[in-house]
Amino acid sequence: MARLLVVDDERDIRHLYAAELADEGYQVETAGSASEAARILQERLFDLIVLDIQMKGESGLQLLQKIVKEKTDTAVILCTAFSCYKDDFSSWLADAYVVKSSDLTELKSEIARLLAKRAK
């Protein structure tokens, strides 16, 4: 079972994603900030991270740089309400960029695509 980490400072978003992704059959953990996520990542390995960008404290992009630097092969999907971060070159390090929506179809299909690519 693929292990997913959802990082978002909005509690309800975390709940929604956790519930929906669990329904898809993933094992989901959540973190309310970049620093909490960093701590969790030290302890456990994940296959994929769904990462918000604008959060209180450290931003998702800063966490993304750390994750890439660690050279883990964890896939990262930036999931944000902002589409403008596509222009920020540090966001180009992520494997996918999804704009938040109440319809989680795109997010789910990106997760499936990246996990399938990883399994190869």
Partner 1 sequence: MTPLCCWNLEQIAPEDCSSLRPGEEALLFDRKQRFLRRCLECPRFLEDVRLLGNESDGLASLFPYAMEELLSQKMQLTALSRQFDSRNREIRFLHEIGQVLQSSMDLDEVLAMALTAVTSGKGFGLNRAILLLVDPERQLLRGHFAVGPRHRDEANRIWQEIASNDYSLEQMGQHFFEQKMVAEKDKFRDLLELLSVPLNRREHLFVKTLNEQRSLCVDDLYRETAIDRSQVEALGVRQLLLVPLVSHNNPIGLLLADNIINHQPIGEEDIHSLETFALPVSFAIERAAYYLKLQEKLAQITEANRRLKEQQNLILRMEKMALVGKLTANIAHSIRNPLTIIGGFARTLSRSTDLDDSRRSYIESIVKEARKLEEVLQEVLTYSESLHPTLDLWDVNQMLTGIYSGLSDDLRLHAIDGRLQLDPGLPLLRIDFKKLSYCIRSIISNALEAMPDGGSLNLSTRRQDDDALILIVDSGPGMDPETLQAATTPFFSTKDQGTGLGLSLCARILEGHGARLEIASELGVGTTFTIRLKLTSEGTHG
One residue of 45, 57, 72, 92 binding partner 1 per CB under 8 A: 92
One residue of 3, 100, 108, 118 binding partner 1 per CB under 8 A: 100
Q: How far is the CB of 120 from partner 1 (least distance, A)?
A: 17
Residue recorded with tokens 């997010």: 107
The first and second tokens of residue 102, run together, are 């109440």
**Cβ closest to partner 1, residue 13 vs residue 115:** 13
Task: Report if residue 56 touches partner 1, rule: CB under 8 A.
Answer: no
Region binding partner 1 by CB under 8 A among candidate stretches 28-36, 42-50, 64-72, 110-118: 64-72
Q: How far is the CB of 114 from partner 1 (least distance, A)?
A: 15
Residue recorded with tokens 């509690």: 11
**Cβ closest to partner 1, residue 82 vs residue 112:** 82
Distances (CA, A) of 106 to 28, 46, 54, 72, 97: 18, 20, 20, 24, 10
Residues 97, 34: Cα–Cα separation, whole Å? 17
Residue 19: DSSP 8-state: H
Distances (CA, A) of 115 to 10, 71, 89, 111: 25, 17, 24, 6
Which residues in this chain contact partner 1 in the complex, by CB under 8 A?
10, 12-13, 16, 19-20, 23, 54, 68-69, 71, 81-84, 86-87, 89-90, 92-93, 99-104
